[in-house]
Amino acid sequence: MSQDTTAHPPALAQPASALPALDLLDFDTVTTARLHLLHPLDGKRTNTWVELMGPDHPVRDAATLAAQRRVRAELQADGKLAASDPADDRAEELDNAVAWTVGWNLTRGGQPLPCTPETVRAVYTDLRTRWLYLQVLQGLRGRQLFTVRSARS
């Protein structure tokens, strides 16, 4: 008799009855969410947050569709897709992060820091706060931040 040597992820190794069930009505998708920043040295959650547009926010969704249309138009025009310059990709990522930041409760020198496009860009491009920008990018790249428990659950 042969032995099953198939590797199973830990969750699949458990009997189905031991796994939690998901009810689709227990969750909602939100268009904005607060990303609570982690302390840059110890990684602990703080009370400081940055509010971000999620992938389903109408403004962000429109920008994503526009970018996809540009790529498709370029491909349709000559059948080739030009490789973009990494510096251009980085600049576009920054522009998007600035545009998709809708608020925050950051302080500098103990004073509230206004959340304007200019200030957001300055914070995101300052090497002293690179850790913050990287957390924002991570939040924007995923969907988990924008999935919440529904009022039903």
| Residue 118 pLDDT | 99
Span between the terminal Cα atoms of the chain, in Å: 47
Confidence class of residue 111 from pLDDT cuts 50, 70 and 90? very high
Nearest to 50 by CA among 147, 151, 149, 129: 129
> What is the pLDDT, as a whole number, of residue 13?
64
Q: Give the pLDDT confidence of 71-81 residue by residue, as tens digits.
A: 888 888 887 77
What per-residue confidence (pLDDT) applies to 136?
99
